[in-house]
A and B are shown apart, each in its own frame.
Chain A
Amino acid sequence: MAAVTFSNLKKRFGETEVVKSFDLHIEDGEFVVLLGPSGCGKSTTLRMLAGLEEISDGEIFIGEELVNELHPMERNIAMVFQSYALYPHMTVKENIAFGLKMTKVEKDEIERRVKLAADMLELTPLLDRFPKALSGGQRQRVAMGRAMVRTPEVFLFDEPLSNLDAKLRGSMRAEIKSLHQELGTTTLYVTHDQVEAMTLADRVVILKDGFIAQVGTPKEIFEQPANKFVATFIGAPEMNLVNAKLENSQVIIGEQTLALPTTYQDQADCALGVRPSDLYLNPRAIESDAIGKLTVNIDGIELLGATYHIQGTLNGSRFVADIATSDETDVTQETGEVELFFDLHRVHLFDNQEGNAIRPNLN
């Protein structure tokens, strides 16, 4: 196991810079997820660490060693690919053992490690099968087994679950999590699925256009987004953002005013952010010393099973509320305007120019 450090890492394809000054330190044994939309540079960053992509600028250290110029094999890392990348002409056993064979590990040791990995991943009955005779989940487990047997210092996962159906994805997620807890290997995991990121990661790195938008624990990312991009990228449905202005620690949205419980500097052009799941029809459902209220024009109501999805408009912006069906108020009776209540400690404010979060004054 080893720590991983990226220092001012850059990647250019011709004139296009896809990774721009990427700095990150991953602790030994940590599970870090790179999360972002397509084209944000997350896979490229992973591939540079793997040695599959040349580095345009900057440095990568695994432990104390600078690995910029090392062959992928010399970096002692293992990677699980999105398409599994199993060798179709080899059996499961040969696939798992291939890396060990290439590095001239002794036969007995190969047998021992393959057996260990197969037992751990419940692949023992499948060892003599070819990949084409396996299901998606089984193939994924073989790919993980192939990575595991090499006892690498760092595990890399490049969107490993994106080819699986939703149900299998859930169970594989749990397997990856338990595998990491068992092995404790430093892991870097790339995904565009925020559920994967939130459930697996010790820390999430959110990327946008080649820059790091925020690094933090899943809880920090969700509850204290550093900017509008993170605020809207994390959470489904996405956070409501309404143009507002801040005056004397009051948020003014058109005719409506919210008195915040903490003090803020005045801001003429800002955005108020409220997560749909933080909104209630009934103020008694909120346990807080500061409850806010906004009146929203209803455009439509959808029943999603456990929640009602109220879509509306506030100050010209789309405003969505996820109301639990257990809420005492009968939401289906609501028409025209609706009053939505929320905990004022849970609202977010963003500077509309830079998009960065506005933090309350310290004193």
Chain B
Amino acid sequence: MNKLKKSTIFAYIVVGFGALIMLAPFYFMFIFATHSNGDILSVPPPLWFGSELMNNIDYLLNALPYFWHNVGMSFYIAIITTALNLLFCSMAGYALAMYDFKYRNVIFAFIMGTMLIPPFLGMIPTALVMKYLGWLNTPKALYIPMACGAMGIFMMKQFITSAIPKELIEAARMDGCNEFSIYWRVVVPLIKPAFGTLGLIVFIGQWNNFMGPLVVMNDMKMFTIPLALRSLQGTGMTPWGAICAGAAIAVIPLLIMFTLSSRRLIDGLTAGAVKG
């Protein structure tokens, strides 16, 4: 009993320490958003909220005249990319999970293989393709190449395999559903938890995406939030307070989303691990 208690206390200390390290940057981001550059760069740095928040926001909005447009762009691109991923990944996952067709396993292995390629390798070719298509500085240059991904397909396939028995699909077929209505009326309602999880992952990934917009967006008006904030770091004095204020604004939607749906995210990530 005593031994168990000690080990539990130790585990709590380790986990608590880890959580502290993880949370420290967030904490300082919010703190620095309320301080001037001089305070931020002083030693020791401020540990509690200051009174410069409105000044920092003013500076931010002056330096980034399209800031709210940039926020809108981030939302637009993240939402469209999420929707496309949910549609295409679930369709592909469904096909790979439920249909028997030639080379199915080879195709699946190939899709999985793409996960081994570092995403940065595809960045320049993607940018060139976007240029040839005339899509530079348009949102589709970001959401079309990201419309479907190996991780999403894998997740959907695993979820569908574990959550939907083949007999259900066959029953729907016998009830008169065509292949699309089986997907739409039977599969989609049953994979909502996976939709929630994948949706969150893709949305967060796109919201935070920096490298993608960096290579296809040159017009400041079309910047997404990470790119816009990065543009404040010029050759002169970096306005850390304003950047932190912008970053804090950018992170608020994610915090709200995550707080509302963290349970679903965790459930979805572990779904299929144990057969119920």
Chain A interfacial positions (CB closer than 8 Å to B): 50-52, 71-73, 77-79, 81-83, 85, 87-89, 98-99, 102-103, 146, 150
B165 near A85 (CB under 8 angstroms)?
Answer: yes
> Using an 8 Å CB-CB cutoff, how does the interface string of B174-214 with A read, 1 for contact, 0 for none?
11110001000010011000000000000000000000000
Chain B positions 135-175 with a Cβ under 8 Å from a chain A Cβ: 165, 167-168, 170-175
22 A–B contacts, CB within 8 A, in A order = A50-B170, A51-B174, A52-B170, A52-B173, A73-B173, A73-B174, A73-B176, A78-B174, A79-B174, A81-B171, A85-B167, A87-B171, A88-B190, A89-B189, A89-B190, A99-B175, A99-B176, A102-B175, A102-B176, A146-B171, A146-B175, A150-B175
Known: A102-B176, A146-B171. 13 other contacts (CB 8 A): A50-B170, A52-B174, A71-B173, A72-B173, A79-B170, A79-B174, A81-B167, A81-B171, A85-B165, A85-B167, A87-B171, A89-B189, A150-B175
Q: Specify the chain A residue showing the minimal Cβ separation from B192.
A: A89
A98 near B175 (CB under 8 angstroms)?
Answer: yes
Contact of B168 among A50, A77, A85 (CB under 8 A): A85
Residues on B with beta carbons closer than 8 Å to the beta carbon of A88: 190
Q: Specify the chain B residue showing the minimal Cβ separation from A87.
A: B186
B190 near A72 (CB under 8 angstroms)?
Answer: no
Indicate whether A83 sits within 8 Å of B167 (C-beta atoms), given known contacts A78-B174, A98-B175, A103-B176.
yes
A85 to B186, CA, bound (A): 11
A234 to B41, CA, bound (A): 89
Q: Specify the chain B residue showing the minimal Cβ separation from A73.
A: B176
Chain B positions 17-43 with a Cβ under 8 Å from a chain A Cβ: none
Contact of A83 among B165, B174, B190 (CB under 8 A): B165
A146 to B176, CA, bound (A): 12
B176 near A87 (CB under 8 angstroms)?
Answer: no
Residues on A with beta carbons closer than 8 Å to the beta carbon of B173: 51-52, 71-73
A72 to B182, CA, bound (A): 13
A85 near B177 (CB under 8 angstroms)?
Answer: no
B177 near A87 (CB under 8 angstroms)?
Answer: no
Of B165, B170, B177, B190, the most chain A CB neighbours within 10 A belong to B170
Residues on A with beta carbons closer than 8 Å to the beta carbon of B189: 89
Contact of B177 among A82, A102, A150 (CB under 8 A): A102
